Amino acid sequence: MTIDDLMQAAPVIPVLVLDGEHDPVALAETLVEAGLRVLEVTLRTPQALDAIRAMARVPGAIVGAGTVLNERQLREVEAVGARFVVAPGLTESLTRAAMASELVYLPGIATAGDIMRGLDLGLTRFKFFPAEASGGLPAIRALAAPFGQVRFCPTGGITEASAPDYLAEPAIACIGGSWMVKKGMSLAAVGETAKRAAALSAS
C-alpha cells in the first residue's frame, strides 16, 4: 500500500478518539460497511493500542494510528498491526523512522517551510493541520500554488458542512474528520453519517 492508495481509499478518514464508549470492532465494522475503510485511531487514550490490534482484523479495514509523535510510538503501533501512522507535525526524526519502516506515513504541515523540509526528505503527501485554525481552504490554496506536486489531507475543524468544499479543491486528496463518531451517537447514527461522508467525492 502506498500513501496514494491510502488517500484514495476513501474521501474521509475518521479520526477516532476511543474512550470506551463504542466497542472498537463494532465501530470499525460499522464504518467499513458504510464505505469508510481508512480508520485513524489516535494515541490520545489508553485504549488506543488494544483498539488498533482488534480493529486491524476487521475485514476491509485499513487501520492506522494518529497522534504519533516519535519513533517509540511508531514502533508500538507497528507492533499491534497499524498499517499507517499520522503525525500532527513533521520532524526529521520521525520521518526517517517512518520511511525506514513498512508503514505508510502522513505527517502534518502548516507552513511552506514544513513542506520544503518534507520534500527534501522525499515526501509529497501531507496532512494540513490544524486545518481550520491554520487558515482553512484559502491557506491550502495559497500553499498549493508553489507546490504543484503536493497533495494534502486537511484535518482539524472540518465539518460535514465544510467537507464538500475541501474535497472540491484539486490539491486535496482526502480529508480527516471526527464528525462521524461523536460522544452519544449510536452505532446506527455513526453508520448513517459515515455513509454520507463516504458518498462525498474527492476532486
Catalytically active residues are 40, 127
Q: CA Rg, the chain, in Å?
A: 16
Q: Is the CB of 32 or the CB of 150 nearer to a second copy?
A: 150
In the bound complex, what is the minimum distance in angstroms from residue 57's beta carbon to a second copy? Answer: 26
Q: Which is nearer to a second copy, 143 or 174 (CB)?
A: 143
Please, which of residues 94-133 interact with a second copy by CB under 8 A?
A: 94, 108-117, 119-120, 129-130, 132-133
Q: Name 79's Cβ contacts closer than 8 Å, sequence gap at least 6.
A: none
Sign of CA dihedral 124, 139, 42, 9: negative
Q: Give the residues across from 105 on adjacent strands.
A: 85
| DSSP labels, 130-143 | TTTTTTHHHHHHHH
SS3 state of residue 113: helix
Largest Cα span, the chain: 45
H/E element holding 16? Answer: strand 12-16
- Whichever of 117 and 196 has its CB closer to a second copy, that residue is 117
Which of 142, 159, 164, 168: binder of a second copy (CB under 8 A)? 142
Decide whether 70 or 186 has the Cβ nearer to a second copy: 70
Count of residues engaged in binding a second copy, rule: CB under 8 A = 42
Minimum CB separation from a second copy for residue 3, in Å? 18
Part in contact with a second copy (CB under 8 A); list of ranges 48-56, 77-85, 87-95, 190-198: 87-95
C-alpha cell at 46: 489508553
Beta carbon of residue 88, minimum distance to a second copy (angstroms, whole number): 4
Report the residue number, 34 or 127, with the smaller CB distance to a second copy: 127
| Least distance between a second copy and beta carbon 69 (Å) | 6
Order of strands, sheet of 38-42, starting from the edge strand that comes earlier in the sequence? 151-154, 125-128, 104-109, 84-87, 62-66, 38-42, 12-16, 175-177
Residues that bind a second copy (CB under 8 A): 42, 44, 66-67, 69-70, 87-91, 93-94, 108-117, 119-120, 129-130, 132-135, 138-139, 141-143, 145-148, 156-157
